[in-house]
Amino acid sequence: MHVRKEPAARRKGPVLVVLGVVVLAAALTLAASSSGGTKAATQAAATGPTIGKGGGFGEVYKARVATLKKTLFKATLLPKNPTARNIALAGLGRADKKVNYALALKCWKNNGCSTGTKGKLTVAYIEQFGENVYRQMSKMEFILQALTYPEVGKIIYRSAHSDLNQGIADFKAAIAQHVSLIVSYPDFGDAMLPVMKEATDAGIPVATYAWGYVTGPGKNYLTVVGEDTCALGKVYAYVMNTQVKSGNIAFLGGFPGNPLSLGWQTCERPALNPNIHVVATEPTNWDPSKVQQVVAGILAKYPDIKGWSYEYGLGMAQGAFAAYQAAGLPFNAVLTLRTDDVGMGCAFDKLNNPKLQMYYYTSGNTQIRVAFTAAMMKLKGAKIPPTIVFPIQLQNQRVRDSCAKGYPQEASATSLIPLSLLHQMYP
Amino acid sequence: MKAPGRTFIASAVVAARFLPIWLATGALAIVAAITAPDALQHASWAYVLPYMTILALAALGQMLVIMHAGIDLSTPGVISLGGNFIVGVSVGSDHKLALGLLACIGLGAAVGLANGILVGILRLNPLIVTLAVGQIVLAWSLHYSREVTNSSQVPEALTSWAAEKPLGISVIFWTGAAITVAVALLIRYTAAGRRFQAVGANPRAAWMAGLHVRTHVVFAYTAAGILYSFAAILLAGIRINIDPAFGAAYLLSPIAAVVIAGASLAGGLASATSTWMAALALTFLPQMLLILGLSTSMQYIVYGAAIIVGMMVSGDRVASLLGRVLRPIEGQTRNPDMNVNTS
């Protein structure tokens, strides 16, 4: 019996062990699959359908359709270049990651912070002008994007208050601090090229957004993210050609010589039909009072002006609307604008003038997220295309109302800053 | 016989100091009527008059300081923080607007008083110290706008008032004109105003005459701060929203207006009405250049050149030139008398 039992025990022992292991493995697998399933289900419920697949260099090339639609109007308005498309998907996809919003707000108010992750990277957003709502929102997008990377330990922000020398000094200081990457909007165009090149030579990837084009992207600096401003100018021209048809229009721009304004102005002019005359091209420094001055001046000479092309929607709403009101003229015109500020849409709605037509593009604050991610991928060895270009699609204010309910007047509803955080920024 | 002649010459020399800006503005209007008549149309004035008023108020404050050989670079800081106080203290509500306005005026007075003490009592260089004070106030404004105000909307009561147009002209203009006339009358026709001028013209003589020179300097900066706060209130009314760059345009243009109006940076006499006229010219000129269709770079070149020419034909240069021209005449008129007396 013993003998029998012993072999039986010996035979049963391994079987039981195997059985036990199998049961345990099955249980673990079940538990794992169960929890994973639950997680996946939760994620699916939270995320909804996505676009993109694959990944690399620490990124997942995937983003929610809803997120893309919110910031680009249509989820398919992604860069055509496959690599650029992947970077855009990775950058915008990160907007759905939860971050510490209290820290983000503190960082935004203090113009920089330590993220508390003890990450080794220091990231910098350096611009030569940061004193309007558009730039302040871009700063928050930058901070939120940086907080999705645990390897980022410190965030730096600098604005030169429209002072070129200070802007150059800010760049040099960042280089001296050995920051890991720089995202910028080069307000003074090629005047910033030497320091951007110096940073690049020092091994710091420099990416610009909102088509902050400076000579030699891919060579003198990492990349420029934005819409094709030339295409924007052509789309503006298409709207003018179809809506204005003939008569006088005017171009307004930001700081003299800035790449964004030059980009669309250079391409809109030749694309206009011969019956449309551009009677003025004036810089406004993106300052509403300067907009009012310029519009008042142009109105004095051309009271029957039929169209205005510009970038800054809220500036147009605050400055031009006031100029028309002061002049006692009805605002009967076609506007082509780049930003989708809520205040702009609400001012349009309040005027309730059927003879005022307004077409706008997305503010593109979220382009800074893509620029950030491109620079992060570069740090991990990715090859980044010199330009990451988003296609254009203008929106008709009468079809898509930019006066989004619940949003602060200064904000852009295509931003990916959570509404609750926006309310804390602009209560 | 001699006294009226000398009085006439003295009056002519004084008037010559302030006359060019009136002539230049008249010439500017004629040039505009010929080359850019649209600049004289209602749409253009609708912008020029309110904005020139704000520049004029800032320039009036600067004038009081310059009369005492000082300079004040804290103007943008006061206007910026003053605007934020209007929004922040009133919390965008019409009911608390009065509090916001008081806070704005109080700020102007406080910053002006600080400048006055630093320059008048502690004898610090006004160029550097007011720039430093202005930077501190501007930084406070940036901090305040983010930490406290959290809103940019000016109370509707103020913006509605600013949109009013008695006799078809902006109420901002009428308000500024009234303040300018009041300042001009106070300086010219009151004993305090005369003492204020005397201290500016010759502080040592004024001190020997028993006037409190330092008190007048402190008063000049304080009054200037209050005038900047008035400018902030009017600007807030027409801008509707306060942004971080609010008031940034008023660093150097008020100084240019005062100097073009005939005042000397070395101190002395100045004219409130001429300063007002200079503010009009400096606001109207860019508008005219814009309407003329000049390129942006040409607009800046012509504007800069106009300021240089304005400085060349006003102030001490014209006064001394006229003095040199008129003295021989005075000599000639005196000699016949002498001949009569001797003969």
Nearest to B151 among A109, A327, A427 (CB): A427
Contacts 24+ apart (CB under 8 A), B177-181: B177/B53, B177/B276, B179/B57, B179/B60, B179/B227, B179/B230, B180/B56, B180/B57, B180/B60, B180/B272, B180/B273, B180/B275, B180/B276, B181/B272, B181/B273
Residues in chain B closer than 8 A to A426 (CB atoms): 150-152
pLDDT band at B88 (very low <50, low <70, confident <90, very high): confident
Note whether residue A82 is domain-resident.
no
- Helices and strands, number each (H, E), in chain A: 14, 17
Residues in chain B closer than 8 A to A427 (CB atoms): 150-151
Mean pLDDT along residues A45-52: 76
Is A326 close to B46, i.e. CB distance below 8 A? yes
Nearest to B44 among A296, A322, A328 (CB): A296
Strand partners, A224: A208, A387
**Beta carbons of A182 and A142 less than 8 angstroms apart:** no
Q: How many domains does chain A have?
A: 1
Is B47 close to A323, i.e. CB distance below 8 A? yes
Q: How many CB pairs under 8 A join A and B?
A: 89
Domain ranges of chain B: 2-342
CB B102: neighbour CB atoms within 10 A? 14
Helix (H) or strand (E) holding A123, with range, is: strand A121-127
In chain B, the residue whose alpha carbon lies closest to the alpha carbon of A255 is: B296
Residues in chain A closer than 8 A to B36 (CB atoms): 301
pLDDT tens readout for residues A276-335: 999 999 999 888 888 988 999 899 889 899 999 999 998 898 889 888 988 888 999 999
Residues in chain A closer than 8 A to B296 (CB atoms): 256, 282-283
User: A400 to chain B, minimum CA–CA distance in Å?
Assistant: 25
Q: What is the CATH number of the domain that holds A309?
A: 3.40.50.2300
pLDDT band at B209 (very low <50, low <70, confident <90, very high): confident
pLDDT band at A162 (very low <50, low <70, confident <90, very high): confident
Residue B211 has a pLDDT of 86
Is A300 close to B39, i.e. CB distance below 8 A? yes
Residues in chain A closer than 8 A to B41 (CB atoms): 300
pLDDT tens readout for residues B283-330: 999 889 988 888 878 888 888 888 888 777 766 666 667 667 766 655
Six-digit token pair at A69?
A: 């639609």
Note whether residue A408 is domain-resident.
no
Note whether residue A167 is domain-resident.
no
Note whether residue A312 is domain-resident.
yes
User: A134 to chain B, minimum CA–CA distance in Å?
Assistant: 12
Assigned CATH for B2-342: 1.10.3470
Is B240 close to A322, i.e. CB distance below 8 A? yes
Boundaries of domain holding A340: 229-360
Q: Is the ipTM of this complex over 0.85?
A: no
Strand partners, A183: A125, A207
Nearest to B47 among A256, A293, A409 (CB): A293
Residue B273 has a pLDDT of 92
